[in-house]
Every structure is written in structure tokens, then in C-alpha cells.
Amino acid sequence: MGKPARSPRVFWFSNSPAAPTGYGTQTAQVVRRLKRRGHETAVHSNYGQSLGLGSWHGIPIYPAGYDGFSQDNIWGHWLDWSGKSDDPTVMISLCDVWVLKNPNLSKVERILSWVPIDHAGVVPDVARWLVRENVTPVAMSQHGLEACQRKDIDAVYIPHAL
């Protein structure tokens, strides 16, 4: 018999779970549940945590960077978190994906992007991200799922606001 499957470690990219924003409150709901289900989880904050590593209910919160979308420090934080264990690590983004411009993100083996589609359809910058080989698109609304389907983007549907 082989080794039992290990729970993936999660590197979450969004607002801090302590931030009183839509993304922050959704982050709080999900990362709390991930931790409860045995997934080691850390948050790379693009808003709501600054001036060093923080903690929220025992979950490490990496600080926002100097650029508006924390792309200047996401790679270093990813390397720090993913390198702390031999267990597989997945990145989950809960944000507008057009902000994800760090070229090193192509080196992340698996990214789940829980993405808002808040236009009539999927705009080009969003589509370019969602069709990457290492990205699994996750639509947060029925509208977003249908917009992805119209663009032949294979998305999973997980409604926002659990």
C-alpha cells in the first residue's frame, strides 16, 4: 500500500480575513473552514495587513506589498510558505485576476482562481489568466460561470458567500 494522501497546504491570496471588506469577510469564512478541515493555510494579503507577518486565529497573514496589488512580494511569500513543508501547496486567489502580473506565478503548479466576472462577459485580461495551464477558474456567480462557458473557459462553480 502507498502512503495516504496528504491534505494540500493552502496559500490564499486576497484581503486579510480581519479586513471588513467583501473579500476580507469571504476570506475569513473560507480559511477558517480550511483550517478546521486540517489544511495548513496562510494568507498573502493584498489589503488589511501591513508592517510584517501577522496572525489571525492561528493562521499566518503575510503583509501587503508596496504596489497596489501586492505583486511585488507575492513570490517571496509563496516561496516562504511553500518551502516550509514537503506537502503539496496550492494557491487560491480571491481577487480580480487581471491584477496577477507577477511573472513567477507561472511557476506555481496549481492555482485556483475564485474570480468575479463583473462585466457583461469575460474581458480579455481576465480570459488570458483563466486559460493558463496552471489555473483552475472558479466562478463565484452563475453569471460568471455562463460568461466563462461562452468563452469556452472550463470553470467550476462555487457560489460566493458560503
Measure the CA–CA gap between 69 and 17, rounded to whole angstroms.
16
Measure the CA–CA gap between 126 and 105, rounded to whole angstroms.
15
- Residues 87-134: tens digit of each pLDDT: 778 999 999 999 999 999 999 999 999 999 988 889 999 999 999 999
Banded pLDDT at 7 (limits 50, 70, 90): confident
Count the Cβ atoms, other than its own, within 10 Å of residue 11.
25
Residue scoring higher pLDDT (4 or 117)? 117
- The full set of domain ranges for the chain reads 9-157
- Cα angle: 103, vertex 53, 65; to 5 degrees: 35
- Residues 21-62: tens digit of each pLDDT: 999 999 999 999 999 999 999 999 999 999 899 999 999 999
3-state helix, strand, coil in the chain (%, to 5): 30, 25, 45
C-beta of residue 32 within 8 angstroms of C-beta of residue 10: no
What pLDDT shows up at residue 160? 84
Measure the CA–CA gap between 52 and 101, rounded to whole angstroms.
22
SS3 120: coil
- Cα angle: 96, vertex 156, 77; to 5 degrees: 45
Instruction: DSSP for 51-108, please give it.
Output: SS-EEETTEEEEPP-SSTTSTTTHHHHHHHHHTT-SS-EEEEEES-GGG---GGGGG-
At the second CATH level, the architecture of 9-157 is 3-Layer(aba) Sandwich (3.40)
Taking 70 as the threshold, does the pLDDT of residue 3 lie above it?
no
Q: Distance between the two ends of the chain, CA-based, in angstroms? A: 37
